[in-house]
Amino acid sequence: MFLEIAHLVIKPGEESTFEQQVAKAKPYFMAAKGCTGISLHRSVEHPEQYQLNVKWATVDNHMVDFRNSDGFQQWRALVGPHFASPPTVEHTHEITL
Amino acid sequence: MFLEIAHLVIKPGEESTFEQQVAKAKPYFMAAKGCTGISLHRSVEHPEQYQLNVKWATVDNHMVDFRNSDGFQQWRALVGPHFASPPTVEHTHEITL
């Protein structure tokens, strides 16, 4: 399992609308091949900043399958207008502790 | 519930030792007031970079109670020598989607 970590910075005053749009977009992720979960985390220290975490079976399920899907276009149409800057994205795998 | 997100950059070649040290330090977190979980995530794109996620009941449980505890000193003694640069830390709260 791989965790996509996206860092999102939202235009001032658009935070609550952005959160509603992510909720609307959630079904597109949950319907995507290899996606097993999505969560949204808002920074306490910088409340215009969010971390979106999406669980994928493989990195390609995100970068190839989802990025080329209609669901990705729907996601970007819903949230893209609220981005203050381009998102940064990385992938991680969990280390067993 | 608040999620502490710490960004850690590890000295080249010390990654597996670092991971073992985090596993050794896990009990100090789990014994801390308000801590309900810890996980470690390694970047695919930048394998010297990790994200440590710790769940706290309140931000003060981390920044006041834990930072002033013996457990924090133990944690830093175990992992500090492996940091390539000072960690950056933020706190987030989860948005219901």
Q: What are the chain A neighbours of B22 within 8 Å (beta carbons)? A: 95, 97
Is the complex ipTM higher than 0.90? yes
Count of structural domains within chain A: 1
Q: Per residue in B15-58, pLDDT tens?
A: 999 999 999 999 999 999 999 999 999 999 999 999 999 999 99
Q: What's phi and psi for A47, nearest 5 deg?
A: -65, -5
Q: Is there a domain that residue A57 lies in? A: yes
Residue of A2, A24, A28, A41 for testing the chain B interface, max B β-carbons within 10 Å: A41
Q: Is there a domain that residue A19 lies in? A: yes
Q: Are B64 and B32 in contact (CB under 8 A)?
A: no
Cα–Cα distance for residue pair B20/B6, rounded to 1 Å: 17
**Cα separation values, A60 from A35, B18, B63, Å:** 11, 28, 38
Q: Per residue in A53-73, pLDDT tens?
A: 999 999 999 999 999 999 999
Cβ count near B96 (within 10 Å) = 7
Q: What CATH number should be reported for the domain holding residue B6?
A: 3.30.70.100
Q: Is there a domain that residue B96 lies in? A: no
Cβ count near B67 (within 10 Å) = 12
CB contact under 8 A, B38 and A95: no
Q: Is there a domain that residue B67 lies in? A: yes
pLDDT for position A72: 98
Q: What are the chain A neighbours of B50 within 8 Å (beta carbons)? A: 92, 95
N-to-C CA span, chain B: 15
Domain span at B72: 2-91
This prediction's pTM: 0.94
Q: Which of B42, B52, B50, B44 is nearest to A63 (CA)?
A: B44
On average, the pLDDT of chain A sits at: 98
Q: Is there a domain that residue B34 lies in? A: yes
DSSP structure class, residue A31? T
Q: Are B92 and B55 in contact (CB under 8 A)?
A: no
CB contact under 8 A, B39 and A97: yes
Q: Is there a domain that residue B97 lies in? A: no
